[in-house]
Amino acid sequence: MYEMNLTLDLPFNAALEKVKETLMANHLGVVSDVDVQAIFKNKMDKDIPAYHIYGACNPKLADRVISAEANAGTLLPCNFVMREEGDKTVVSFMDPVAVLGLSQAAEVRAVAEEAKGMIEKVMEQLQA
């Protein structure tokens, strides 16, 4: 599988704050935000519920990946999607093992395992 997900019993903005706080507490920061909802509205005049693609990163892990295999930066950062589903929010994290496993470099694969452990910890804390 390429992702791991959970549903938060929170509206989108409250869920976003909780996710960001939990990521930061686990040494992961949000480095990018693609507002798919706004893009669809602006480009196609299509209305959809809140849907964002975020990039999360730990600079030390990213450095290890890039140092081991410079072009593996194309596989960074760890993306996650947050989407509104009624009065709840679905959070779906990319599985770094699935994505970074495309590299043959042992160090890149080791980072993938470490990053997955960090994301699993974030998920556990979000569900608590």
Tell me: the pLDDT tens digits for 96-110? 999 999 999 999 999
- Two structure tokens written together for 105: 């470099």
Contact (CB, 8 A) for 8 and 89 = yes
Q: Residue 31 belongs to a domain with what CATH number?
A: 3.30.310.70
User: Quick count: other Cβ atoms within 10 Å of Cβ 25?
Assistant: 11
Quick check: bond before 77 cis, omega within 30? yes
Q: What is the pLDDT of residue 42?
A: 98
- Domain hosting residue 103, numbered range: 3-127
Q: What is the pLDDT of residue 1?
A: 84
Give the chain's residues under pLDDT 70: none
Query: Structurally, how many domains does the chain consist of?
Result: 1
At residue 26, φ and ψ (nearest 5 deg) are -110, 25
Q: What is the pLDDT of residue 52?
A: 98
Q: What is the pLDDT of residue 8?
A: 98
Contacts of 60 (CB under 8 A, 6+ apart): 27
